[in-house]
Amino acid sequence: MATDTSRISITAHYTGYVWYKNGLSTAGFATPMGRLAYYGLLPGDSLARKFIGSDLETQLLQRHLIIDHLLQQAIQQHGKIQVLELACGLSPRGHRFTRRFSAEQLKYVEADLPGMAKRKTELLRSVQSLSQQHYVRSCNILATEGPESLEALIENEFDQRLPLVVITEGLVNYFPYDLISPFWARLSQSLKPFTYGAYLTDMVSDDKQHNNSQWLNLGMQLLSVAARGKTALHFNGDESVKQGLQALGFKQVFVHDPVNYYSQLSIPVSKVAPSIRVVECV
């Protein structure tokens, strides 16, 4: 099935500008649409930070930097790893990591729908980041067969004798459970032949214990408008996330709360319990 997911592209522009504004990428990753979206949302984000205690930019930075931290840990633990970042959009992670780690330590493949994959290839070329170590391929995560399927991409681009880490960021909550859960199940199976296979993703779950749940619901509605489609909450709290993903084939699932990284990493701090989580599946 080749479901069109281009509706989320405006959020890719917005997040691309957030990374640039916070020193995580270069000007090449920032677009006029991203700048317009960023400053258009800035007044509302500032009010949210003041009166609610958290805001969209804070949560984006929390998830991005925690994923970076976990990826760096994997490189340090295994010596050399392969990375596949799906629905890469304007993510600067591959650009930054391939400047910090050599080809002997890291191979980084980004993937997205054909139009975005072409654009990202041109972007990486323009910032001198395109190489045999770091490149882009076309992939539709909902395609179950054919050259753009997840399975074909993993089979064609990666060595099963080396560890593979798959990343999705800012993606899964844009799909209803009946669309995203088959992808998770297929991914868990695709990682099994590797010496070490891991999946890193961010996720928002509908945890009623959070004192900011009403603001979470409002935020999801605003994201739905921005993305020109519905957003979805798949699980009810951290334990539900673990059980749900283990039922889809992942052996171990670790749910990382940004609160636990406030003293470890230079990440922005929310005044309320964060609704965002980074999930690590192995």
pTM of the model: 0.90
Using 50, 70 and 90 to split pLDDT, how confident is the model at 227? Answer: very low
Amino acid at 153: L
pLDDT value at 224 more than 80: no
Residue 1: inside a domain, yes or no?
no
Residue 118: inside a domain, yes or no?
yes
Mean pLDDT of all residues belonging to the chain? 89
Give the model's pLDDT for residue 216.
45
Residue 268: inside a domain, yes or no?
yes
Domain with 39, as residue range(s), is 6-281
- Residue found under tokens 């459970």: 177
Residue 22: inside a domain, yes or no?
yes
Residue 167: inside a domain, yes or no?
yes
Write 187-195 long-range contacts (CB < 8 A, 24+): 187/150, 188/248, 188/249, 188/250, 188/281, 189/249, 190/150, 190/151, 190/154, 191/164, 191/166, 193/160, 194/158, 194/160, 194/162, 194/163, 194/164, 195/160, 195/161, 195/162, 195/163
Give the model's pLDDT for residue 44.
83
- Residue found under tokens 């992808």: 183
The alpha-carbon radius of gyration of the chain (Å, integer) is 18
Amino acid at 20: Y
Residue 271: inside a domain, yes or no?
yes
Q: Are 90 and 15 in contact (CB under 8 A)?
A: yes
Residue 267: inside a domain, yes or no?
yes
Using 50, 70 and 90 to split pLDDT, how confident is the model at 46? Answer: confident
> pLDDT tens across 184-215, in order?
999 999 999 999 999 999 998 765 555 454 44
CA distance 58 to 45: 9
Percentage helix, strand, coil, to 5, in the chain?
A: 50, 15, 35
Q: Are 212 and 53 in contact (CB under 8 A)?
A: yes
Residue 248: inside a domain, yes or no?
yes
CA distance 110 to 123: 12
Amino acid at 224: S
Q: Give the count of domains, the chain.
A: 1
CA distance 88 to 15: 11
Q: What is the CATH classification number for the domain harbouring 71?
A: 3.40.50.150
> pLDDT tens across 101-151, in order?
999 999 999 999 999 999 999 999 999 999 999 999 999 999 999 999 999
Q: Quick one: what percent of the chain has pLDDT higher than 90? A: 73
